Amino acid sequence: MADIHYWLIVAATLIACASPGPATLAISNTALDGGRSRALAVAAGIFTTAGIKLWLSRFNG
């Protein structure tokens, strides 16, 4: 019984790691609709937002 749960957890982990996140989908969608320059702008915005969140969590926590 423990083997079944182990392999179920391994399979779920592999599926979760292989699936793209919302940021990846946003960048891909923007690249397909608006081109490389707009996709780079979206990627820069996501990177900046993540950096600000990290900075605020580090110094306000």
Domains of the chain, by residue range, sit at 21-61
Sign of CA dihedral 51, 49, 23, 32: negative
Q: What is the pLDDT of residue 56?
A: 86
pLDDT digits (tens, 9 = 90+) for 5-39: 888 888 888 888 888 889 999 999 999 999 999 99
Cα three-residue angle 49-39-57, rounded to 5 degrees: 10
Q: How confident is the model at residue 2 (pLDDT cuts 50, 70, 90)?
A: low
- Model pLDDT for residues 35-60, shown as the tens digit of each residue: 999 999 999 999 998 888 888 888 87
Distance (Å, rounded) from C-alpha 7 to C-alpha 4?
5
The structure's pTM equals 0.63
> Dihedral angle at the C-alpha atoms of 5, 6, 9, 14, nearest 10 degrees?
-140
CB-neighbour burial class of residue 23 (10 A; exposed 0-12, middle 13-18, buried 19+): middle
